[in-house]
Amino acid sequence: MWDEAADQERLARRKERNLLRGFLALVAFAGFYSGIQNESHETSLTDFVLSLALGVTGASYTALVGRRCGAPIPRNSLWLLVLFWPIAVPLCLMWAHGRRGWWKVPVGCLAVLGVGFAGVAVGALLATLRQ
């Protein structure tokens, strides 16, 4: 039999996974980009676009997780997630997961930091080899 609710759940989880993969790819690229820059790097349009893309991806992921967990985030406050994503996204995810799943958020933050540092390491290595 065809179960529409199960299909909707699978589709929501697929969207979450794709947004999380995109977020991790952006974090890795941001780390790589900062690793290949020299010491006199000034803020550029690329930095702004990367930060904005990370904010939009993080806010979209948080909104999907909140809706799935039964703690939807109000639409008119999503712009705060985009602007203050490094602090707001983990806090909202902890709120959405509640008492049972709060431990997933610090583990996820450590994974994001690891991906970012790996990108910095690869970028710095390539910058060193390029000279």
Please indicate, yes or no, if residue 69 is contained in any of the structural domains.
yes
When divided into structural domains, the chain yields a total of: 1
Q: Note the pLDDT tens digit of each residue in 76-104.
A: 888 999 999 999 999 999 988 888 888 88
Structural domain including 88 reads: 15-34+43-130
Residue 124 within a domain: yes
Q: Which residues contact 96 (CB under 8 A, 6 or more apart)?
A: 62, 65, 66, 69, 71, 73
Q: What is the pLDDT of residue 71?
A: 86
Does the structure show a pLDDT above 70 at 6?
yes
This prediction has a pTM of 0.85
Give domain status of residue 96, yes or no.
Answer: yes
Whether residue 116 is predicted with pLDDT greater than 90 in this model: the reply is yes
- Is 76 among the domain residues? yes
- Element at 60 (helix H, strand E): helix 45-69
pLDDT digits (tens, 9 = 90+) for 18-46: 999 999 999 999 999 988 886 667 778 88
